[in-house]
Structure 1
Amino acid sequence: MASISPEDHFLHRSGRELNPAVDYIHSMTKTPPNGSDTTADDRRTTTRDPSTAGIENRLETEGDPESGGGLEYEVVTTPVLVVGAGAAGARVAIELAESGLEPLVIGKREHGDAHTTWAAGGVNAALGSLDPDDDWTVHAADTLNEGHHLNDPDAVELTAREMPDRIRELVEWGMSFDRTADGDINQRYFGAQSYRRTCFVGDRTGEAMLETLIGRARDLEIPYRENVMITRLLSDGERVDGAVGFDMETGDGLLFRTNHVVLAAGGFSALYHRHSSRDDENNGDGQALALEAGARLLDLEFVQFHPTGMVGERYGEEWDGRLVTEAVRGEGGRLYNAEGERFMERYSPDQMELDARDVVARAIAREVREGRGTDDGGVYLDISHRDAEYVRERLPSMVERFESLGVDITAEPMTVAPTAHYTMGGVDIDFRTGETGVDGLYAVGETVAGVHGANRLGGNSLAETVAIGKLVGDHVASAVAVGDDDPTVTDGQRAMAEREFRALADLAASDGTVPPTRILEALGDLLWDHAGILRDEPGLRDGLATLAELRERTADLRVDGGLTSKSFEYAVDLSASLTVAEAMLRAALERTESRGAHYRTDYPETDADWRVNLVLSAGTEGLSITRRGVAEPSPAVREALEEGYELDYHHLE
């Protein structure tokens, strides 16, 4: 691993020698250019694995194994590497395979175990099954309104136009959407939607979608490697030539050599104390990898707090923050405070519980803050007024989950409170190509920013994965050139990878007193307290100061269990998590207005002059933040905006 330069803005020196953990966690310097004259010994043997035809696997050994100094790692060459195995990564890979390529998809978990499965309520497409007046322009207008017009209009329109075809495609591949009595794909309301537009499979839509996509990928025999963690991209800041990581089951190093890397690694909502993700997912690794490789980040201040996460001792710590799908409110669920008031009448008498997520989340936070919450710090979500069989049919997973906890939601309310759920910010890309501005590096899904603006419209996360995923896959396929199927591995690239392997080994050997989980938990509390639903300048500055203290605590990091342990995985996560947390705090401090999911109590109004995106870049002087104007939508979408479509709540009464 390269030494850390004095200018490195992520390194907080305290006058003492840094241990390997600090050196690794704070390393954000540029990697050496690919033409580095650092050479590796001529010591390699080559084997091919017949189970992955077209993908080359080599076993490399650094140093002299007989003297005990050997470092074994595998070299894999592939035309395209897709990092992330959720819906976005799968859809990119399917498009590549249908174009005649053989990409390699890698994921942190077992095949099919991706965060997409947690998106329960549905996916948006203007099919008009129940409301024939709905069309893609109204879908786009709703998305722009919900995003407070910070969205990339081109990205929004591409998504809205593509989605009817993508839904029909999923049906062709075997996805069994719920149907109306007439046999059409059924659709439900989600918050802030003008029409019933959300297609669903009960309340397990994301799981059904991922199963369908993986089934299609298997039909196409797309190679996949599970339990792989990427820790660094091979980049000189101008182009990417592959990625470095390790096998989480064996601890062996992995060097992926490719001219095309697609990041589809999710968001960073799990950095918060209360969140709807698994603790080992959505920790910002995709954004951190891209930033370090030379890409820009966009809109990191916008974090969506879903109004209804589980809360209360009755459910246990394991379920704290877990999502209660918006489909509950979409099917007529009502919110009550501890005094029995249906309080959304005060905040949104027209759209009630189905107003925008940021509006409902702030309303719940205010009820709790003003003493009208439950003893557990939440409110009640009740759907018991609906027919019990209807609830069981439309919300089977919710019924089953709460029954396992001793709650019958067909007869009694659930206790809920806001939870960090989704990140609108991410990598800055061209949505027609997925390009990041770094040659060979592309991004897609929750890893990127642009579709959702300042707040995401419910049902659009799954929509973005397949709509934009197809477009990115199509472009990357056209960019693959002769020779990309078996790219040469240079000595400089091997040297860069071997530095990373040594750094990981040093990190795994950290023998201090502070486990990484303790720092991650403190980071979660920091963000919840200082960059949560309500923010202000003193709190954000305190958050940055506390973040610096957390960085210092990594000097005493302890990793137990070596390269295959959860302790080591969390230690690696720290590098990405601290990086993205700093970027998010700085962006939130910079935006001196309230807009969408970003609410500043010291600047409570929306300021027309702040209709700009904040672009973040990493350089030798630290993080830089610049402002960029937002483009205007097409005439057709402007017309839909001017019509002023909005939710007609009476359908649910």
Structure 2
Amino acid sequence: MPPERPNPRWDQSPSSVISECEQTARTSDYEHITTPVLIIGAGAAGVRTAIELAEHGIEPLVIGKRDHGDAHTTWAAGGINAALGSHDPDDDWRIHAADTLQEGHFINDPVAVEVVTEAMPERLRELAEWGMPFDRTNGGRIDQRYFGAQSFRRTAFVGDRTGKALLDTLIERAKSLHIPYRENVLVTELISDGNRVYGAIAIDVETGQFLLFETAHVVLAAGGCSALYGRHSSRDDENTADGPALAYRAGADLLDLEFVQFHPTGMVGDRYGETWDGRLVTEAVRGEGGRLYNSHGERFMKRYSPVQLELDARDVVARAIATEIDEGRGTDNGGVYLDISHQDTAFIRERLPRMFERFQSLGVDISEQPIEVAPTAHYSMGGVDIDWTTGRTAIDGLFAVGETAAGLHGANRLGGNSLAETVVVGQIVGSHIAAHGVGESTMPDGVLADAERTMSALVSFVESDGNVHPSALIADLRRVMDEHAGIFRDERTLQQGLEMVNDIADRTTTLRFTGGLTSEAFELAIDLSYMLTVAEGVLRGALKRKESRGAHFRTDFPETRKVWQKNILSAHANTGSTLWCREPGRPSSAIESAIDEGYELEYHHLE
């Protein structure tokens, strides 16, 4: 379990928004569903957890906000890391671990790093056995490409649609095991007494029916919080902080929230249209030799990173691009140029088919023309604090996997490690639950009564008579986060941002709804409650960390400070958020040896 922590009293209100509505004596009708394990989230991490449970004879229930197979995993395009040595036989999992720790600026959980990197070769071969159609070398081995800040070619791939291929493979495996799945389910709250979790309250978004899930184990696989920002790589209705907020309000701790990764290359809306603004241009474009140029035609990464160039760490490249734009060397549309046209057309179409087709549909032939890109909020290194040998949180029965969990990535995520994380920790959690037995899922009468009151409060909330649509407050929140918690931060702008977030929270008393529990407005209001909870945590963590480290850059504290080589945790007390710190621990001697050996990417292989 995670280390001992402060012991506040837990606020059991349904959410920061819903707590404002008047409680009523009504008890809403609901469907009562019992399952041994409830998995909230149907992306790669959730499905891999379910597969492991099913293979041990336990039938979990997987629930998702959208149609089956429509998960954020599909947008992870470039690849998945494992030290296979397909091209570089000197690579091994220790060096993968060393790269991960260095990219995370040594505040990663060293147990998490070792667990994931050591397990990944086996997990990758397992995926191949299940039918994942990896690109192959001429000799038949799983092919691997360069990704930023990696010492060797370690990123396995399926063209530039690796995430979709991964999820399709896992879903087919899950179907073969007859794992039950329920789609279009919006979870509004976990049922918890602050010590253990008993289930979840949800809405069937198609019928408006309340659902009460009773279970011995809840696994949160509901993604991260990059959609807190206006310019982000997710679709607007995903990565809205559901997982971390649900865990936090149930009594679990959050870790490293100040670290939000801005991917260097997102599409520029002024060039490609509002629908595409911020959407990811995979790192595989740079991994296959793509080069960055400013409006003066200068390959500017030579100034910022003369050795690793475009394949330096994501935070380095993102800050470089942002600086070029801020100092007037960007394009008229507010970006820089990413150019891979020096590669053969056949090579581009084979290695980057999704990118080629996307831009072709927008009138751009990337084999002949550069594309315009700018940084975009992409991934949250922060999330729920877990024990990486089991996936457990500090709340009995509550687990977190995938981007909902924190600890592996530290201050900045190594590209290709997100998909790796999903299949490793999913297997660990499923195996742990199976080994220890699912136990009974008996919900105490008092806890059940509280859950029923929460459902009644939700009905009153929807019937409230306000004049502000939730989408307006979400737009305001995203503007605040863009302007006050972006790539460059300082005390004044962060403090202003925190005050503005609190003002938006106050304005939730004026929300307006039409269409009841099945309405888009209701779903957006729930999203808003999650987003406000975690946005405050991001800003508070960024204010507390008075240094620059990885994805967190303070212009008023531009240096990395040894005294801040520690993690910031957030606990939910009845008086508000409580922040505290702990040391991340030391890597094993095997990993420290790999760090000392000083491996580094040799970019000239791409030239």
1:542 aligns with 2:529: no
**SS in structure 1 at match of 2:337:** strand
* Equivalent residue, structure 1, for 2:516: 562
- How far the C-alpha of 1:555 sits from its partner, in A, is 1.6
* Equivalent residue, structure 1, for 2:272: 315
**SS in structure 2 at match of 1:166:** helix
* Equivalent residue, structure 1, for 2:603: 649
Find the aligned partners of 1:444 and 1:547 in 2 and give their Cα distance.
Answer: 28
Residues 1:26 and 1:195: Cα distance change in structure 2 (over 3 Å): farther
Find the aligned partners of 2:288 and 2:17 in 1 and give their Cα distance.
Answer: 51
* Equivalent residue, structure 2, for 1:199: 156
**SS in structure 2 at match of 1:175:** coil
Structure 2 residue aligned with 1:514, among 456, 468, 491? 468
* Equivalent residue, structure 1, for 2:332: 375
* Equivalent residue, structure 2, for 1:54: none
Structure 1: segments with no counterpart, 5+ residues: 1-6, 12-19, 32-61, 64-68
Q: Which amino acid aligns with 1:101?
A: I
Residues 1:22 and 1:356: Cα distance change in structure 2 (over 3 Å): closer
- How far the C-alpha of 1:493 sits from its partner, in A, is 3.4
* Equivalent residue, structure 2, for 1:414: 371
* Equivalent residue, structure 1, for 2:572: 618
* Equivalent residue, structure 2, for 1:24: 18
Residues 1:240 and 1:473: Cα distance change in structure 2 (over 3 Å): same
Find the aligned partners of 1:247 and 1:439 in 2 and give their Cα distance.
Answer: 27
Find the aligned partners of 1:362 and 1:166 in 2 and give their Cα distance.
Answer: 34
Structure 2 residue aligned with 1:93, among 27, 50, 55? 50
1:293 aligns with 2:287: no
Q: Which amino acid aligns with 1:480?
A: G
1:173-572 alignment runs, 5 A limit: 173-482=130-439, 484=440, 487-572=441-526
Find the aligned partners of 2:354 and 2:219 in 1 and give their Cα distance.
Answer: 32
Residues 1:275 and 1:332: Cα distance change in structure 2 (over 3 Å): same
- How far the C-alpha of 1:490 sits from its partner, in A, is 4.2
Question: Is the 2:191–2:200 contact (alpha carbons within 8 Å) kept by the matching residues of 1?
Answer: yes
Q: Deviations over 1:590-644 (max 9, x none)?
A: 0000000000000000000100000110112211111101111111111100011
Question: Is the 2:16–2:533 contact (alpha carbons within 8 Å) kept by the matching residues of 1?
Answer: no
Q: Deviations over 1:362-415 (max 9, x none)?
A: 000000011000111110000000001100000000011111111111110110
**SS in structure 2 at match of 1:234:** strand
* Equivalent residue, structure 2, for 1:39: none
- How far the C-alpha of 1:70 sits from its partner, in A, is 6.9
Find the aligned partners of 1:357 and 1:23 in 2 and give their Cα distance.
Answer: 35
**SS in structure 1 at match of 2:489:** coil
1:146 aligns with 2:140: no
**SS in structure 1 at match of 2:128:** helix
- How far the C-alpha of 1:489 sits from its partner, in A, is 4.5
* Equivalent residue, structure 2, for 1:108: 65
**SS in structure 2 at match of 1:470:** helix
- How far the C-alpha of 1:469 sits from its partner, in A, is 1.1
Q: Which amino acid aligns with 2:259?
A: F
Q: Which amino acid aligns with 2:43?
A: G
Question: Is the 1:10–1:622 contact (alpha carbons within 8 Å) kept by the matching residues of 2?
Answer: no
1:27-46 alignment runs, 5 A limit: none
* Equivalent residue, structure 2, for 1:130: 87
Q: Deviations over 1:75-100 (max 9, x none)?
A: 00011001111000011111100011
Q: Deviations over 1:526-551 (max 9, x none)?
A: 00100000000000000011112111
Question: Is the 1:21–1:507 contact (alpha carbons within 8 Å) kept by the matching residues of 2?
Answer: no
Find the aligned partners of 1:481 and 1:593 in 2 and give their Cα distance.
Answer: 44
Residues 1:631 and 1:567: Cα distance change in structure 2 (over 3 Å): same
**SS in structure 2 at match of 1:251:** coil
**SS in structure 2 at match of 1:406:** coil
Find the aligned partners of 1:9 and 1:437 in 2 and give their Cα distance.
Answer: 16
Question: Is the 2:17–2:508 contact (alpha carbons within 8 Å) kept by the matching residues of 1?
Answer: no
Q: Which amino acid aligns with 2:520?
A: K
Q: Which amino acid aligns with 1:79?
A: P
Question: Is the 1:21–1:555 contact (alpha carbons within 8 Å) kept by the matching residues of 2?
Answer: no
Q: Which amino acid aligns with 2:18?
A: Y
Find the aligned partners of 1:489 and 1:265 in 2 and give their Cα distance.
Answer: 23
- How far the C-alpha of 1:281 sits from its partner, in A, is 0.5
Q: Deviations over 1:330-372 (max 9, x none)?
A: 0000000001000000000100000000000000000001100
* Equivalent residue, structure 1, for 2:4: none
Find the aligned partners of 2:75 and 2:503 in 1 and give their Cα distance.
Answer: 34
Find the aligned partners of 1:481 and 1:224 in 2 and give their Cα distance.
Answer: 19
Q: Which amino acid aligns with 2:59?
A: E
Find the aligned partners of 1:252 and 1:10 in 2 and give their Cα distance.
Answer: 23
TM-score by length of 1: 0.89
Residues 1:623 and 1:96: Cα distance change in structure 2 (over 3 Å): same
Find the aligned partners of 1:427 and 1:481 in 2 and give their Cα distance.
Answer: 22
* Equivalent residue, structure 2, for 1:44: none
* Equivalent residue, structure 1, for 2:32: 75
- How far the C-alpha of 1:326 sits from its partner, in A, is 0.2
Q: Deviations over 1:493-549 (max 9, x none)?
A: 331221121122122223311110110011001001000000000000000111121
Question: Is the 1:232–1:245 contact (alpha carbons within 8 Å) kept by the matching residues of 2?
Answer: yes
Residues 1:25 and 1:347: Cα distance change in structure 2 (over 3 Å): farther
Question: Is the 1:424–1:449 contact (alpha carbons within 8 Å) kept by the matching residues of 2?
Answer: yes
* Equivalent residue, structure 2, for 1:42: none
Q: Which amino acid aligns with 1:625?
A: L
**SS in structure 2 at match of 1:615:** strand
Find the aligned partners of 1:119 and 1:371 in 2 and give their Cα distance.
Answer: 31
Question: Is the 2:17–2:505 contact (alpha carbons within 8 Å) kept by the matching residues of 1?
Answer: no
- How far the C-alpha of 1:23 sits from its partner, in A, is 5.4
1:579 aligns with 2:533: yes
**SS in structure 1 at match of 2:528:** helix
> What's the C-alpha RMSD, in Å, of the aligned pairs?
1.8
- How far the C-alpha of 1:26 sits from its partner, in A, is 5.8
* Equivalent residue, structure 2, for 1:59: none
Q: Which amino acid aligns with 1:593?
A: E
Question: Is the 1:119–1:205 contact (alpha carbons within 8 Å) kept by the matching residues of 2?
Answer: yes
**SS in structure 2 at match of 1:71:** coil
Residues 1:333 and 1:557: Cα distance change in structure 2 (over 3 Å): same
- How far the C-alpha of 1:25 sits from its partner, in A, is 5.5
Residues 1:603 and 1:10: Cα distance change in structure 2 (over 3 Å): farther
Q: Deviations over 1:188-209 (max 9, x none)?
A: 0000000000000000000000
Structure 2: segments with no counterpart, 5+ residues: 1-8
Find the aligned partners of 2:12 and 2:475 in 1 and give their Cα distance.
Answer: 20
Find the aligned partners of 1:23 and 1:536 in 2 and give their Cα distance.
Answer: 28
**SS in structure 2 at match of 1:507:** helix
Find the aligned partners of 1:72 and 1:623 in 2 and give their Cα distance.
Answer: 34
* Equivalent residue, structure 1, for 2:6: none
Q: What is the number of residues matched between the two proteins?
A: 598
